[in-house]
Amino acid sequence: MQSTIAAMRPRMRTGVFFTPTPERDGVLLTKGSDIVTFQGASTYAWLEKLSPYLDGRHSVGDLTSGLPPATRQRVERLVGALHDAGLVRDVNQDADHSLSEAELVHYAAEIAFVETFRTSPALRFQRYRRTRLLVLGSGPVLSATVEGALHSGVARISARFTGDGPTEDPAVRARLDELADAARRGDVEQSLDTGSLAVTDTAALHRAVEAADLVLYAADRTDPGRLGAIDLACAELGRTLIPATLLRDEAWIGPVCRADHPATRWESLWRRLGRPRGDAAARSDFLTGPVPGIVANHLVFRAFEHVTGVAEQDDGDMPSAGAVRIDLETLQTSVHTLVPHPSAAPTRAVRERELADAPAVTVEELAGRVGALTDERLGVLGRVSEEHYEQFPLRVVRVAVTDPGRPGESFPVWGAGADFAQTQDAALRHALAAYAVRAAVLLTAEHGGPVTGLALTDGTPRDVPADKAFGQAGAALPVGTAAGPTWAAAVEGALLDHCLHRLQAARPTDGDRLALDDLGPTPAAGRYRDLLLATGEDLAMYALRAPTGVTAYSFRLGGEKGLVECGVGFTPAEAAEAGLARLLLAQQSRAHGQSEYAPSAAVSLWTSNLADSKRQGPLVEALRSDGLEPVLVPLDQDPAVHAVLPHLVRVVLLDA
C-alpha cells in the first residue's frame, strides 16, 4: 500500500475547499454539497502546506523523499485518505491524450470542469475537440449555437441553413461569417464552413450527416417534417442527434438521440408533447435579446456533457432520455424524463411462455420501478397524489395517465386500499393497464390487421379482431383488462372482471340473503364489514349465481334504495373482501361528496388475492359451456411499460 501511495501523482480535484473545524481539532473539506471531516489538531496545517503541490506534477515519493519515516508515513496516510474520499485523483491513471500545450492552457477551464466528474479529463475534452459537428437550423438560435460550440472548443463545425424560417436571415448569415473569421484568427485548428441544405433532398442530407460525428438542430421555430427527416437520417446512418425543439413559448433541449440507443428518438418527444395547434409553431415573441443565446448554450452544454461523458452514471449508462425544458418567458428550467413513445420505439415479439414465466413484481418493486415512467410532461404517468380526497376509512389516490393516442392529453385513474402502499400499488397497476390497452389500440390502428391471442382452454392461437381485442380508446378500461403482481394474478383479475360485469348487468339483490356471521372473511374483509356496520345502516349480504369455479356476493348498505356493490372471487373469502371493499369505498365517496372515485372502471381497489393458475380452469370451462371462448391477449406492445410491469393482459370473450 505504501509503495502504491508513493508512486501516486495526486491532483486535488477542482472545486475542493478546506478549512479548520470550529474546534480547531481537524479539517473540513467540501466538494460541491459533500462534506468530509479529517480529525487531528495538525491535519489542517499539514494539508495547507501540502495542497500547493497536489497538482499532479509530483509523486508522493518525490514530496516525501527528504522527510523522516514517521512524517513520510503521515503524509502518505493523508494523501491516501484524500484519495479514498474522492478529493484527489491519481494522474498516473489518466489515459494518454494528444492535446498541445497551447490547447491545455486555452481550454483549461473546460478540462477542469470535466475533471470535476471524470478521470482522464484531457482525453475526454480531446474527444469533444475533435468531434466533427454539424449544426442545422435557422435564425439567431443557429448562430448562437455555432458561437457556443466554437467557444467551448470544437475544432470542426459545419453550419447549414435548413429553411425552417420564411427566409434566410441576412443578419444571421453575417454573424456566421464573423464567427468563421474569428475562429481562423483565434484558433488555428478551428474551422467553420457555412451553407444551406434542403432537408427534402435526401441524398444531400445523408451526405451532410454522414460527414459528421454529432448533429445539433437549432432553429427559431421547429418544423416537425424537417426535424423528423433529420432524426431519421441520423438513425439510419448511426449518428447521434441532439435537438432543440421550440414549441409555443417553450424550448426543449434533448433528448440525446444516440446511435446505439434506438429506443430514444426525437419522434418520442414530439408525440409526448403534442402537435401545435393554429399558430403555436410560430416563432415565440420571447425569443429576443439574450434568449436565443441561452437556448443555444443549453444545447451546446448538452453536447459537451454527452461527448466528454460528464453525464454518465456510475454504471456507464447515460441519461440520454432526459430533456431540459426552458420557459422562454421566465427562463426557468426543469429536467424531464422522456419515456419512449410506443409508436416511435422498436417492438419485439414476446412469447406467452416468456410472459407467464416472468418473475413476480411486488408492491415495493413496482413502486421503485415506476419512476422510470413518471414525468408530468414526457412520461407515461404523473405523480401519485392524494389531492383533497378523504383518507378514511380507505386511502384514496389519483394518477394522471398519458393518452398515447392523444399527444399532450391525459386521463385520471384512482386507487384505493387500507394503507398508502396498497393504495399506490392499486393505482399504479391500474394506470399501467389503462395506458397499455390504449397503446395497443394506437399501434393496432397504425399497423392494421387482427391480433393474435391465445385460447385459455388449450393455448391455441386465435385471431382476434382489433376492435374486440382492445375495445375503443376511452376513459374507462375495457372489460377484461387487468394488471397483477404475477401473470396468473393478471389473468385471474381479467376473468373476474368479466364475471363482475355480467353480475352488475343483472339484479344484484335477487339472490339469497345470508347471515353476516357466516361470512368467514379475510382479515381485510372483516375490517371492512365492521367499518360498514359502524355507520349504523343496515348491511345485507346476498349469495348470487355465478359460473362454476367462482363465488359471487352482493352487499347492500341501507334500505331498498341503499348502496349496492358486488364482489367475485375464486374463494368465498376473496369474493367477500372484493364486494365489501367496493361497498365501503362507495359509502366513503357518497358521505364526503367525492363521486369521482366511486367504484367504476376507472377505480381499482387493492385486494389480497393469491392467484393460482390452476384455479381458473373450471371458470374457463364454464364460460365455454355458455358458448364463450376466453382468449388471452398480452398487453406487451409498449417496451418501456413492459419492462416495468410485464403482467398486463386483456381477456376477450369470443364465440366458442
pLDDT tens-digit readout, 7-58? 999 999 888 999 999 999 999 999 888 899 999 989 999 999 999 999 888 9
Asked whether residue 316 carries a pLDDT value surpassing 50, the answer given is no
Q: Which pLDDT tens digit goes with each residue over 202-238?
A: 999 999 999 999 999 999 989 899 999 999 999 999 9
C-alpha to C-alpha distance for 325 and 335, rounded to whole angstroms? 6
pLDDT of residue 459: 87
Reading the block at residue 372, the C-alpha cell is: 422510470
Q: Which amino acid is at 359?
A: P
pLDDT of residue 352: 59
Asked whether residue 366 carries a pLDDT value surpassing 80, the answer given is yes
pLDDT of residue 190: 93
CB-based contact 10:56 (threshold 8 Å): yes
pLDDT band at 510 (very low <50, low <70, confident <90, very high): low
pLDDT of residue 315: 46
Q: Pairing state of beta strands 16-20 and 26-31?
A: antiparallel
Q: Name the residue ranges covered by the structural domains of the chain.
A: 2-93, 131-337, 350-656
Task: Determine the average pLDDT of the residues in 150-172.
Answer: 85
Task: Determine the average pLDDT of the residues in 127-149.
Answer: 97
Task: Determine the average pLDDT of the residues in 487-514.
Answer: 85
Q: Which pLDDT tens digit goes with each residue over 84-107?
A: 998 998 998 889 999 999 999 999
Q: Which of 292, 294, 150, 159 is nearest to 215 (CA)?
A: 159
C-alpha to C-alpha distance for 389 and 368, rounded to whole angstroms? 24
Place of cell 508515513: 73
Mean pLDDT of all residues belonging to the chain: 90
pLDDT of residue 244: 97
Q: Which amino acid is at 435?
A: Y
Find all residues with CB under 8 Å of 371, minimum gap 6, and list them.
none
Task: Please state which of the four CATH numbers 3.40.630, 1.10.10, 3.90.930, 3.30.960 is assigned to the domain occupying 2-93.
Answer: 3.90.930
Q: Which of 534, 532, 615, 542 is nearest to 581 (CA)?
A: 532
pLDDT of residue 260: 82
User: Quick count: other Cβ atoms within 10 Å of Cβ 55?
Assistant: 12
Q: Which pLDDT tens digit goes with each residue over 548-564?
A: 999 999 999 998 889 99
Asked whether residue 386 carries a pLDDT value surpassing 50, the answer given is yes
Asked whether residue 1 carries a pLDDT value surpassing 50, the answer given is no
Q: 121-130, 133-142, 286-295, 520-529 — which is least confidently predicted?
A: 520-529
Q: Which of 612, 556, 64 is nearest to 360 (CA)?
A: 612
Task: Please state which of the four CATH numbers 3.50.50.60, 3.40.50.720, 3.10.20.740, 3.40.80.10 is assigned to the domain occupying 131-337.
Answer: 3.40.50.720
Task: Determine the average pLDDT of the residues in 272-283.
Answer: 66
